[in-house]
Amino acid sequence: MAGFSDLNIPQGPDKKSMQGLLETAAHLGYSAVALNHVIDFKEKKQEIIKPVSPSELFPSLPVVQGTSKRIKVLTRLTLVISDPSHCNLLRSTSPNIRLYDIIAVFPKTEKLFHIACTTLDVDLVCINVTEKLPFYFRRPPVNVAIDRGIYFELLYTPAIKDSTMRRYTISNAISLMQICKGKNIVVSSAAERPLELRGPYDVANLGLLFGLSEGEAKAAVSTNCRAAMLHGAFSASQNIWELRKNRKVLLCFTSTETGLWALWMQPKWMLCFREVPVSCE
């Protein structure tokens, strides 16, 4: 069974408050969290800096409730794009981008949403939950994104804070569900304080409010998050994906109700299809 993950913990300046967030997340049962560094190109020209090293920032990581392992901290970069010229940064082979574990993009217009789903090399596409969607989702780009292994992210903290945001979140989520049929959804927090986090069981229940089925809601907090993390770990070169950290060659992987399954090429060209173990990351 895949562990629970929260892929959006905004990176704050205060180390102590980040430590508090990590401890609460570990107490609630999250096995992995991703520290999110957001870059908005609308503001003054921003450079993509190297990601912080979690081992430097947090000398001691808390143990996850219910297991004996420490919580895993990944790094994530979110690019807010409102103009097609912003995409050039992703296309250019900037060395700093590849250092992040997960890359997400937040498209602000319909054209950029289409570009993000079909061509950009990202792992997550963020869906706006704080205002009325400026465009309708269409089936073709969403289906292409699902085939490419890209996941759509919904945040839940705005819905908890304010009732108007709650309505926008539910409307936008349901309109996405009608197009993607509940596949490839990831629900995460964007919590800035420990009290804004919610346990994985509760987040799965929130998924029910967004129109997901029970199995889909649970996957949105567990297997889909891990699939997005794996998507970020591999670099696509031609048709074969190479696992960065060791020599095994991964041909493809898919996320099903029973978990993550991967097709590996073993030495001497043997093919085998087996479940991705939790420790493989």
Partner 1 sequence: VPDAALRCRYVLCEVVSEDPRCRQCIEDRAVGLAVRDAIGRVHGDFGLACCSISFTVKYLNAYTGTVLLRCRKDSYRLLCSALPFVRQLESRNQRYPCFLNTLHVGGTIRTCQKFLIEYNRRQLLMLLQSCTNEEERRCVQKSLLSCSLTEEQCLSGNEDDDDDGTDTD
Q: What share of the chain is helix, strand, coil (3-state, %, to 5)?
A: 40, 25, 35
Could you count the other beta carbons within 10 Å of the beta carbon of residue 237?
8
Residue 252 contacts partner 1 per CB under 8 A: no
> 34-63: which residues touch partner 1 (CB under 8 A)?
63
28, 33, 124, 227: which one binds partner 1 (CB under 8 A): 28
Whole-Å CA distances, 202 to 25, 145, 214: 13, 27, 12
Residue 66 contacts partner 1 per CB under 8 A: yes
Residue 134 contacts partner 1 per CB under 8 A: no
Cα 13 from chain centre: 22
Instruction: Give the span between the Cα atoms of 115 and 150, in whole angstroms.
Output: 13
Residue 202 contacts partner 1 per CB under 8 A: yes
38, 146, 192, 199: which one binds partner 1 (CB under 8 A): 199
Output 68 or 237, the one with its CB closest to partner 1.
Answer: 68
Structure token pair of residue 273: 């299809």
CB of 257 to partner 1, least distance (A): 20
Give yes or no for a contact between 134 and 107, defined as CB atoms under 8 angstroms apart. no
Residue 24 contacts partner 1 per CB under 8 A: yes
Local structure of 121: helix, strand or coil: coil
Q: What does DSSP assign to residue 136?
A: -
Structure token pair of residue 253: 């992987």
CB of 52 to partner 1, least distance (A): 24
CB of 27 to partner 1, least distance (A): 7
Residue 195 contacts partner 1 per CB under 8 A: yes
| From 22-30, 83-91, 92-100, 251-259, span contacting partner 1 (CB under 8 A) | 22-30
Which residue type sits at 187?
Answer: V
List of residues contacting partner 1 (CB under 8 A): 20, 24, 27-28, 63, 65-66, 156, 160, 163, 166, 194-195, 197-199, 201-203, 205-206, 208-209
